[in-house]
Each structure stands twice: as C-alpha cells, then as structure tokens.
Amino acid sequence: MKRAGIARADVVVSLTGVDATNLVISQRAKHIFHVPRTMALIKDPKNEPLFHEVGIDVVVNSTHLVLESMEAGVPGRPLVHLMNLRVPGLELVSISIPEDSNIIGKHINEIELPPNSFITLMVKKTGATLPNGRSVVEAEDEIVAVTPEGDEQILYDILTGV
C-alpha cells in the first residue's frame, strides 16, 4: 500500500470480490495510513454492520444493489429503496406520485412528513429540481426522500394518498 502511494490518498475504495479482503484494506487505510475517507464493497449483507462498526465511511452492498435494480425495473413499482445511508437507520427512497394522489397541487411545505423525513429531490417531466417549501407536487413526479428505516411505508402512504 505504501508503494502504491497511499500516503497521498484522499479516498481508498476496495472493490475485491471478498468481503474480508475489502475490510482489511479499508481498515488499514483508515487506521494505519490515516486516509480520510474509505469505501468498501460487500457481498454478504450480514457483514455491513461490522464494516460500519470499524469506521468504514461508505459501505456498498452489491446484493442490495442487484435487488434494488431489479425492483426498480418492475413496472408500476411506486416505492424503490435507493440505498441505505451512512448514518445507520436512514434510507434514501424514490416514490412515484400517482395521478390520484391527494398531494397533487400542494406545496412541499404543506405536506406533513414523518419525523426525520425530508424530500431531497423532485424529478419532474421537465427534469430534476432541488425542492424548496414552495415546490409544487405534480402527478407522475418522482420524489426522492430520506426517511428513517421503518418509516418508508408511512412516507409512501402520505405521498401517494393511499
């Protein structure tokens, strides 16, 4: 790692196909060579808590990525888990707003979201926008939001009007 110039690295990304190898690479980079940011790929979802526990900054679960990609490809699937965030217990989700939702025409600040949930992006027919309190929800908008794990269904119900 020294010969490869790790002392100059701002980020180390370990992408081998073996979780244990990625753990060791990331741990050494973080704790021995003091690399400010580490990222690691894992295959076994059971290993994710361990990676977070030892201080790996970003853990990418390839199993979840494959499942989420498949889930996103299912027609009519209105709630898609995009990713678990670095902060344990928070998730990034995308929700399609159906034509009969009771929030259509409302401003973002008029929608009562679950605690610790917030809208981070609105993808409209005209393109993506960063929402503000005055942003208006339209049918077929894609709402990207951060929400606590377990509150996805509540957020979905609020945004879709179910």
Could you tell me how many residues make up the chain?
162
Q: Provide CB contacts within 8 A for 162, sequence distance 6+.
A: 156
Q: How far is C-alpha 131 from the geometric centre of its chain's CA atoms?
A: 18
Domains detected in the chain:
6-62 (3.40.50.720), 75-160 (3.30.70.1450)
Three-class SS of 23-68? HHHHHHHHHCCCCCEEEEEECCHHHHHHHHHCCCCEEEEHHHHHHH
pLDDT string in tens for the chain (162-residue length): 888 888 888 889 898 889 999 999 999 999 999 999 998 989 898 998 999 999 998 888 877 666 666 555 555 556 666 556 566 788 888 888 998 999 999 999 999 999 989 898 888 888 888 888 899 999 989 888 888 888 988 999 999 886
> What tokens appear for 154 in the block?
């509540």
Q: What pTM does this model have?
A: 0.54
133-153: buried (b, 16+ CB within 10 Å) or exposed (e) per residue?
Answer: eebebbeebebbbbbbeebbe
Q: Which burial class, exposed, middle or buried, applies to 22 when counting CB atoms under 10 A from its CB (0-12, 13-18, 19+)?
A: buried
Contact 122, 106 (CB under 8 A): no
